[in-house]
Structure formats: structure tokens, C-alpha cells
Amino acid sequence: MTASELSGLLGIALRGDGSRVLTGAAVLDEAETGQLAFVGSAKYFASAAQSRAGCLIAPAEYAAAEGQTVLDSPQPRAHFAQALALLYPVAAVRPGIHPYAVVEAGAVVDPTAEIGPHVSIGRGARIGAGTRLENGVTVGEAAVVGEGCVLRAGVTLYARVTVGARCILHAGAVVGADGFGFEMAGGKYHKVPQVGTVVIGDDVEIGANSCIDRGTLGATVIGDGTKLDNLVHIAHNCRIGRHVVIAAQTGLAGGVSIGDYAVVGGQVGVGDKARIEARSVIGSGAGILTSKIVRAGEPVWGTPARPLRQYLAQLATLSRLAKKRGSS
């Protein structure tokens, strides 16, 4: 692909030699001729001027060094992401069912889907058009996977789970396991049957080894466009809105709700029935207490979570006290 062709596909202006051929991409300091790199902000202009990249995606105010080819972008990182998809296209789906796959009676697999080796598809399950199930995927009885999805190796969908269109589930993700429900009676714990389900919307991505538990009654819900990192745990009857981002090693207890466009950092713990409002931001390592309401606006941090300014002020106070005690 030439720089000129990429410019047209991205819909952004070109400066310099449009005939340069691009065969891949690299970070700014390591890119060579034939590779694309991006300049995120003015902070990187000096490095960009020294870059050997064949083409740069950069803000329009970047003054290109002699001989450089530049694509002007108001959002260099976003356009670079689009360019990566063009330079490294996903392998096409190869329709068909591998001879070592097991498809039980009553399951419906669209003829354009790709079913890999050692895949198991239960009775009454449905697999949509253009979906790829990689090695060792398990789809339970009456589960539904929409069109254009990719389920990586070892993904497990329990019975009656629903996955929308164009979702990506990475290796080892488990959707629909029993919620953690037990009641003490007669001196021992008794399991509460978990008879609900999980409903995942369209364009959702779920990271490797993440777990989403089914509802005790009703459904655990993941909204359209939401992205979960690796090792995220979503407990029974949580309701996560649209376009929410949750980073790695975060755990949600039962009945938590998260509004649209919220951002949750890594290693966050959220207690039972807490409510996180739309567009809230929770910093990494924060602890949200049971039934707590997190309002939109200023990011929250710390355990228990509180507004960032308050958290930083408390840290500064503790630091001053420690210094005072050390000098006494």
C-alpha cells in the first residue's frame, strides 16, 4: 500500500511523497523505511524529525523534516489504529466445520461460519454468519453467538448465554458460569441455584481469562461496545452499560451497575450493588464499597474511593505528618 492510497482510505491530507510503499508499522524511534509510525503530540516532534519511518501520521502543525512523508491528522492515534487494521488485515473466515468438531443435534451453524478443531456446540445452539470458533471452544446448549464474532481458543459459553454481533472473546474467557450464591443453613452452606443467563451486546471485546457469571435470576448484561481487559470478573446480575472500558484484574461483586461510557482502571474492587454512573472515572486500585454510588464528574481514587483531589490532599497530609514525625 502506498502513502497516497492510505491517505485516501483514511480521508486525511498527505504531505510529501505519496508513492512511498508501506508494508508495516512500528514505534516512532524504531520505524524504518517502508514502515508507518505516528506522532501523538507536540511532545514527540523532536523525535519525529529524527525518525526514519517511511510515513508519519502527525498533527497538522508538525513541521516535517526534509524528505519526510506525513499524513495530517487531528487524532493521530485513532488514525494510526485504523491504518494498522489496513496494513495487518484479519485472516478471512474459512467456512466449514472441522472434522474433529462436535455439533450436537438441533444446533444451527450458519454455512459461512468457521468451526475449528475440537469445538463443541451443544443442542439448540446457534452460530451466526461469518463467525469463527477457534480450537477447543465450547458453546453450551441453546447458547447464541451472533454474526461476525471471533471466539479464540478455549473460550467457554455455558448454556443459554447470548453473544451479540461482531464480538471478540479472547482465549480462556468463560461466560455463564454460576454466580457465587450460597446460604448458610444447618451449619453448612447450601448452593443457591443460578438459573439466570448472560446477555452480551454487539461489538463487545472480552479479554483472556475473564469470567462473566450468569444471573441468579434474570440476566447479567454487558452493553454494546463495552471492552473488558484480561482477568476481569463480572459477578451475577451485574449490568454494564454501553461503551464502558474496564482494565485488567478488576472484580465486580453481584448486582453492580455501571453506566454508559464509564472508565474503570485496573485492580479495582467493586462491592455488592454499587452503582457507577455514566461517564464516571475510577482510578486503578480503587475500592468501591457495597451500595456506594459513584457520581460522574471528578475521577475517584483510593480505598475507600473518594474524589481525586481529596485523595491527593490526604496523601500530602500523611506525607507531611511522616516527615514531621521523622524529624522529631
What three-state secondary structure class fits 46? helix
What three-state secondary structure class fits 90? coil
**Residue 173 and residue 304: Cα distance in Å, rounded?**
29
**Residue 155 and residue 169: Cα distance in Å, rounded?**
7
**Residue 46 and residue 43: Cα distance in Å, rounded?**
8
**Residue 107 and residue 27: Cα distance in Å, rounded?**
46
Task: Write out the catalytic residue numbers.
Answer: 236
Query: How many residues does the structure list for the chain?
Result: 328
Closest by CA position to 286, among listed 309, 262, 311:
311
The single-letter code of the amino acid at 161 is V
Q: What is the DSSP string of 138-199?
A: EE-TT-EE-TT-EE-TT-EE-TT-EE-TT-EE-TT-EEEEPP--EEEETTEEEEPP---EEE
Backbone angles phi, psi at 42, to 5 degrees: -60, -25
**Residue 306 and residue 28: Cα distance in Å, rounded?**
38
CB 69 within 8 A of CB 81: no
